[in-house]
Amino acid sequence: MSNIIRFYQKEILAFLGCLFVVGVIVWTTLLCILYRFYSKQGFIYLYHPPKYAKYGKPYYTFKSKMVALFWKSKLNPLYMFDENLKKIYIKREVYGYYYYCYKATTTIIYFHGNATNFTEILFGIKTLSEKLDVNVLVIEYPGYGERTGKLPSRCVILNDLKRNLESIKNKLKSKNIILYGNSIGASVALHAATLLNDCKGIILQNPFLSLYSMLSIYKVPYWFKWLFYPENWDNGKIIKTQLDEMIPILMLCAEDDEIIPIEQKEKLYSLCKNVEMIKYEGLHNQSLSIHEFKRVKQWLENLT
């Protein structure tokens, strides 16, 4: 028997090698199908991390190792010392933060980008309120900042909006409501616009056409693109099929955006009917200048 094994040693090793390769292919295919299914359900929340964070550091969970890496930032303990700022609660849980402007007649509902939380954008929200003379309500995503919840995903965020957006709107004294989304938050703002029938307009800052189209920009191989469900965060499709084409849209586009190229924004712009675009010099997370704030303020005044 040992002589037979020694005689066919090469053939046996080749067979075992082929069996191993086939096993790897089968398991990889099954994992790809499973990943594709989760992506179709909206469980994949694409994320672009910053190089550093002021109040936290990246962390992994068992789920995030299977799906993505998320940024869990600690809260800045100084943020609640601002007298114009208060927390908004739903069922005894912090749902968002309201920055009050005493002479405002308009309220912006703000959806921030990924890899941050409210306390890290507080200065920008304060500037937005003061420059535009508006109240600003920042809705925090489940699992971000002080909010509890599951690992953030498209399904979790959109289901959360469907449950709570109307009750949040009823808490606001202002009748003039503008939806404002920054980066991936622009997608959330567009979805919110399909749920609110009486919003006066939408501001999209550095939006993409769709996450699927972004994969080509980053030269992701075709076999890997297959893993991402095309309809996840598809801003173009929402504008074409779900959004009222008469809702005024203002697009704020950084020309030197290192994350979302200007071509993506121009393609999205071409799909809108009632739209205005303001281009400004700067990177993806760079703030507007005084001149751009004046143009945004004028756009808001024309709506009300």
pLDDT tens digits, one per residue of 200-234:
999 999 999 998 888 778 777 766 666 666 567 89
The tally of domains found in the chain comes to: 1
Residue 18 lies in a domain: no
Instruction: With respect to residue 8, please indicate whether it lies within any of the assigned structural domains.
Output: no
β-pair partners for 176: 106
Q: For residue 131, give every residue at least 6 positions away whose Cβ sits within 8 Å of its Cβ, in sequence order, or none.
A: 290, 293, 297
CATH code assigned at 276:
3.40.50.1820
Low-confidence ranges of the chain (pLDDT < 70): 1-13, 29-81, 150-152, 222-231
Residues 6 or more apart from 291 whose CB is under 8 A from it? none
Rounded to whole angstroms, the Cα distance separating 156 from 110 reads 18
The answer to whether 224 and 272 are in contact (CB under 8 A) is no
Secondary structure of the chain in the HEC alphabet? CHHHHHHCHHHHHHHHHHHHHHHHHHHHHHHHHHHHHHHHCCCCCCCCCCCCCCCEEEECCHHHHHHCCEEEECCCCCHHHCCCEEEEEECCEEEEEEECCCCCCEEEEEECCCCCCHHHHHHHHHHHHHHHCCEEEEECCCCCCCCCCCCCCHHHHHHHHHHHHHHHHHHCCCCEEEEEEECCHHHHHHHHHHHCCCCCEEEEECCCCEHHHHHHHCCCCHHHHCCCCCCCCEHHHHHHHCCCCCCCEEEEEECCCCCCCHHHHHHHHHHCCCEEEEEECCCCCCCCCHHHHHHHHHHHHHHC
Q: Which residue segment(s) compose the domain that 196 sits in?
A: 41-303
Q: Is 31 within the bounds of a domain?
A: no
pLDDT of residue 2: 57
Is residue 33 a part of any domain in this protein?
no
Is residue 22, in this structure, part of any structural domain at all? no
Q: Is residue 27 part of a domain?
A: no
* Rounded Cα–Cα distance for residues 291 and 281 (Å): 11
In a domain, 286, yes or no: yes
> Does residue 178 lie in a domain region?
yes
